[in-house]
């Protein structure tokens, strides 16, 4: 079944196409495991996302499996698989989305002169032929076919119209005109859609779609301008993750449309109270922290600090608040429980936070919660989320932290004694360093020799207070592959060791997958 947009009352329904699991996962270090992808897809489906782009099936067996499994489990959303304009890609995408109640093949080819000359090395006529053949092939496999003109915003309008006409003639039901390199301005992007829709004779047979990258910080502005130009599908990602500077952020587009309905006659089917949960889930799955001042879902998005603002807020929230925290699902951080809290209370807290665990996972997380409550006076929602993340991320780890002690202080060198377990075998090492973190990482290096380079080391406090858990993010790059991982603990050095070991586990899991694929 192909998708059309509808009008309810005076508002046009805008389709939300989420590409967190494809364009989002494509950014360096954002790799997610199958379980993480399934959890994200389930929440997107529940939230009312119309189309979930679940991956790029030809890219790897892992990608194929993820798209196929998400397709099997999808309840409401259309599940899309990406394919280059290559017959084998399209066949693989068709196979992956076959089990979806509603599957879509999303195929793309470059159209700009610079891509044609240097990347494709094809003439304009040759590319039009490719479009006709590949879109027709996709249409033979599924009824719902999206075609994208890669680098549309740097393509001459005459040639762009010719390509769009050909794609629709060959059976495309959605036409996406991406600002692939984040170069367009809002007025240019609006005009491109208006012009293509006016000039292409069969334009009324397809839904037009926007897809904006954020290189100049204009992704959301361009997205909204594209809607003004007549597009009715928005491609976006949770937290705006994606290639380079990212994609348009789903939560920003949805809340802009909702909050400024007075100037934008649109509506989406998104349940906005799930936006905060989706942001946290994606941040945890990718290990990409959300910047504090990020619109809608940043930690400070609803925090009022200055005296004048606080005074206004106390008198009437509308003085400084254009949307309520509740409308994006932001509950006030609540004090949870302490060391006397029992299993039933803990289980009900997990339910409240939307965290689902198997019995084994529950047992493990509950024990860790008890251990934390022994060391920390107040255990907050964020602490529990960090425990659950850690449990999910480390369930299949080969390398585990057993113990760590560090001598630190003004008189260096600092010294770490580290005990870890690798495939069930315990090994110990002592190492010096230029500072305690360096000493810990040197000890890890000695125990698990590797070539990966540390690209990022970041610490932040999960909650407030001097006994807050530290959450450390570590990004390691090994050749072409880079992974990000997190570790949390009231002791910053222990959190650092956990994060580094978790990144090594991720690298080793990825290497094993590649090895299995090669065999
Ligand atoms: O940015 C882009 O052009 C893309 C296409 C694959 C749609 O992500
Ligand atoms: Zn993109």
**Who wins on pLDDT, 456 or 266?**
266
Domain encompassing residue 319: 302-329
**Cα Rg for the chain, rounded, in angstroms?**
25
Find out whether 287 is annotated in a ligand binding site.
Answer: no
User: Does residue 180 line the site of ligand 1, with CB under 6 A?
Assistant: yes
User: Does residue 178 line the site of ligand 1, with CB under 6 A?
Assistant: yes
User: What per-residue confidence (pLDDT) applies to 76?
Assistant: 97
Cβ contact 80:117 at 8 Å: no
List Cα–Cα distances, 136 to 109, 146, 167, 293, in angstroms.
Answer: 14, 11, 8, 45
Structural domain count of the chain? 4
Q: Do 439 and 477 fall within a single domain?
A: yes
332 pLDDT band (50/70/90 cuts)?
low
User: Is residue 295 situated within a structural domain?
Assistant: no
Instruction: List, as one string, the DSSP characters of 39-86.
Output: HHHHHHHHHT-SEEEEE-TTS-HHHHHHHHHHHHH-SSSEEEEEEESS
User: Does residue 211 line the site of ligand 1, with CB under 6 A?
Assistant: yes
CA dihedral 155, 161, 166, 168 (to 10 degrees): 110
321 pLDDT band (50/70/90 cuts)?
confident
* Cα separation, 145 vs 400, whole angstroms: 46
CATH of the domain at 259: 3.20.20.70
**Strands 51-55, 15-18: parallel, antiparallel or unpaired by DSSP?**
parallel
Q: Do 407 and 279 fall within a single domain?
A: no
pTM, two decimals, is: 0.80
User: Is residue 294 situated within a structural domain?
Assistant: no
Closest listed ligand to the CA of 85: 1
| CA–centroid distance, residue 235 to ligand 1 (Å) | 10
User: Is residue 6 situated within a structural domain?
Assistant: no
Instruction: List, as one string, the DSSP characters of 276-309.
Output: HHHHHHHHHHHT-PPPTT-TTTSTTTT---SHHH
pLDDT digits (tens, 9 = 90+) for 404-430: 999 999 888 899 999 999 998 999 999
Q: Which residues of 359-396 are buried (b: 16+ CB within 10 A; e: fewer)?
A: eebbebbbebbeebbeebeebbbbbbbbbbbbbbbbee
List Cα–Cα distances, 128 to 135, 137, 162, 193, in angstroms.
Answer: 11, 14, 8, 20
Q: Do 98 and 110 fall within a single domain?
A: yes
Q: Do 17 and 98 fall within a single domain?
A: yes
User: Does residue 148 line the site of ligand 1, with CB under 6 A?
Assistant: yes
Beta strands in 99-238 (DSSP E): 103-110, 144-150, 174-179, 207-212, 233-236
Find out whether 213 is annotated in a ligand binding site.
Answer: yes
> How far from chain centre, in Å, is Cα 37?
9
Query: Does the pLDDT at position 519 exceed 60?
Result: no
Q: Do 164 and 143 fall within a single domain?
A: yes
| CA–centroid distance, residue 302 to ligand 2 (Å) | 30
Give 412's contacts (C-beta < 8 A, 6+ positions apart): 434, 435
379 pLDDT band (50/70/90 cuts)?
confident
Q: Do 233 and 318 fall within a single domain?
A: no
User: Is residue 484 situated within a structural domain?
Assistant: yes
Q: Do 224 and 360 fall within a single domain?
A: no
| 3-state SS assignment for residue 426 | strand
Query: Does the pLDDT at position 448 exceed 90?
Result: yes
Average pLDDT, the chain: 91
> How far from chain centre, in Å, is Cα 375?
33
Structure tokens given for 140: 């033979």
CATH of the domain at 411: 3.30.160.270
**Who wins on pLDDT, 511 or 100?**
100
pLDDT mean over 14-39: 92
242 pLDDT band (50/70/90 cuts)?
very high
Which is nearest to 108 in space by CA: 180, 24, 41? 180
Atom of ligand 1 nearest to the CA of 213: 1
Q: Do 463 and 372 fall within a single domain?
A: no
User: What per-residue confidence (pLDDT) applies to 465?
Assistant: 77
| CA–centroid distance, residue 199 to ligand 1 (Å) | 23
User: Is residue 7 situated within a structural domain?
Assistant: no
Most confident of 222-226, 292-296, 476-480: 222-226
Structure tokens given for 430: 């002592």
Cβ contact 20:244 at 8 Å: no
| CA–centroid distance, residue 204 to ligand 1 (Å) | 23
List Cα–Cα distances, 68 to 39, 97, 144, in angstroms.
Answer: 14, 6, 16
Q: Do 233 and 353 fall within a single domain?
A: no
Q: Do 244 and 311 fall within a single domain?
A: no
Query: Does the pLDDT at position 1 exceed 50?
Result: no
Name the DSSP letter for residue 274: G
* Cα separation, 519 vs 517, whole angstroms: 5
Q: Do 214 and 357 fall within a single domain?
A: no
User: Is residue 347 situated within a structural domain?
Assistant: yes
Domain end residue (candidates: 252, 286, 320): 286
pLDDT mean over 501-511: 84
Cβ contact 443:415 at 8 Å: no
| 3-state SS assignment for residue 450 | coil
Give 486's contacts (C-beta < 8 A, 6+ positions apart): 284, 287, 389, 390, 393, 471, 472, 473, 474, 499, 502
Burial of 140 (0-12, 13-18, 19+ CB in 10 A): exposed
pLDDT mean over 83-105: 98
User: Is residue 335 situated within a structural domain?
Assistant: no
Q: Do 389 and 401 fall within a single domain?
A: no
User: Is residue 5 situated within a structural domain?
Assistant: no
Cβ contact 96:106 at 8 Å: no
Probe ligand 1: pick from 148, 153, 155, 231, max atoms within 8 Å of CB?
A: 148
Burial of 60 (0-12, 13-18, 19+ CB in 10 A): middle
| CA–centroid distance, residue 243 to ligand 1 (Å) | 9
Closest listed ligand to the CA of 236: 2
For ligand 1, atom 5, the nearest C-alpha belongs to 150
pLDDT digits (tens, 9 = 90+) for 40-64: 999 999 999 999 999 999 999 999 9
Probe ligand 1: pick from 17, 23, 25, 119, max atoms within 8 Å of CB?
A: 23
User: Does residue 485 line the site of ligand 1, with CB under 6 A?
Assistant: no
Find out whether 23 is annotated in a ligand binding site.
Answer: yes
* Cα separation, 493 vs 497, whole angstroms: 6
**Who wins on pLDDT, 385 or 39?**
39
pLDDT mean over 257-269: 97
User: Does residue 150 line the site of ligand 1, with CB under 6 A?
Assistant: yes
Give 120's contacts (C-beta < 8 A, 6+ positions apart): 109, 110, 127
**Who wins on pLDDT, 35 or 382?**
35
| CA–centroid distance, residue 82 to ligand 1 (Å) | 9
- Give residues whose Cβ lies within 5 Å of ion ligand 2: 23
* Cα separation, 151 vs 212, whole angstroms: 10
């Amino acid at each position: 079944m192909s998708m059309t947009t509808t009008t309810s009352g005076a508002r046009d329904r805008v389709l939300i196409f989420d590409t967190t699991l494809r364009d989002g996962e494509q950014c360096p270090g954002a790799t997610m495991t199958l379980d993480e992808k399934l959890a994200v897809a389930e929440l997107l489906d529940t939230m009312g996302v119309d189309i979930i782009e679940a991956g790029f099936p030809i890219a790897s067996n892992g990608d194929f499996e993820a798209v196929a499994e998400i397709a099997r489990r999808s309840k409401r959303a259309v599940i899309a698989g990406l394919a280059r304009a290559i017959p084998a890609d399209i066949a693989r995408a068709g196979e992956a989305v076959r089990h979806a109640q509603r599957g879509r093949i999303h195929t793309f080819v470059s159209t700009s002169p610079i891509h044609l000359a240097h990347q494709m090395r094809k003439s304009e006529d040759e590319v039009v032929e490719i479009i006709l053949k590949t879109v027709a092939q996709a249409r033979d496999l599924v009824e719902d076919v999206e075609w994208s003109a890669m680098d549309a915003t740097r393509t001459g309008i005459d040639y762009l119209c010719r390509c769009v006409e050909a794609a629709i003639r060959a059976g495309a039901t959605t036409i996406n005109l991406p600002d692939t390199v984040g170069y367009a301005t809002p007025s240019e992007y609006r005009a491109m859609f208006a012009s293509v829709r006016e000039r292409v004779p069969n334009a009324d047979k397809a839904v037009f779609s926007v897809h904006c990258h954020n290189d100049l910080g204009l992704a959301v502005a361009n997205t909204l301008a594209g809607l003004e130009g007549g597009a009715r599908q928005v491609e976006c990602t949770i937290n705006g993750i994606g290639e380079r500077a990212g994609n348009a952020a789903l939560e920003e587009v949805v809340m802009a449309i909702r909050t400024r309905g007075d100037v934008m006659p649109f509506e989406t089917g998104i349940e906005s109270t799930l936006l905060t949960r989706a942001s946290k889930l994606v941040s945890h799955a990718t290990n990409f922290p959300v910047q504090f001042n990020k619109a809608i879902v940043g930690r400070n998005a609803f925090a009022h600090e200055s005296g004048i603002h606080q005074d206004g807020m106390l008198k009437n929230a509308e003085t400084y608040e254009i949307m309520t925290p509740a409308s994006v699902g932001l509950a006030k951080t609540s004090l949870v429980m302490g060391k006397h809290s029992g299993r039933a209370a803990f289980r009900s807290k997990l339910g409240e936070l939307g965290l689902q665990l198997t019995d084994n996972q529950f047992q493990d997380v509950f024990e860790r919660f008890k251990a934390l409550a022994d060391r920390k006076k107040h255990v907050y929602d964020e602490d529990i989320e960090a425990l659950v993340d850690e449990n999910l991320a480390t369930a299949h780890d080969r390398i585990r932290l057993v113990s760590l002690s560090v001598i630190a202080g003004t008189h260096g060198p600092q010294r770490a004694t580290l005990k870890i377990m690798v495939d069930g075998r315990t090994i110990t090492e002592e190492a010096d360093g230029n500072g305690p973190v360096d000493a810990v990482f040197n000890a890890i290096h000695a125990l698990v020799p590797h070539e990966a380079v540390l690209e990022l080391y970041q610490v932040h406090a999960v909650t407030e207070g001097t006994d807050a858990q530290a959450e450390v993010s570590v990004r390691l790059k090994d050749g072409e592959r880079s992974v990000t991982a997190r570790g949390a603990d009231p002791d910053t050095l222990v959190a650092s060791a956990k994060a580094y070991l978790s990144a090594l586990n991720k690298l080793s899991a990825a290497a094993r997958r590649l090895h299995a694929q090669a065999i």
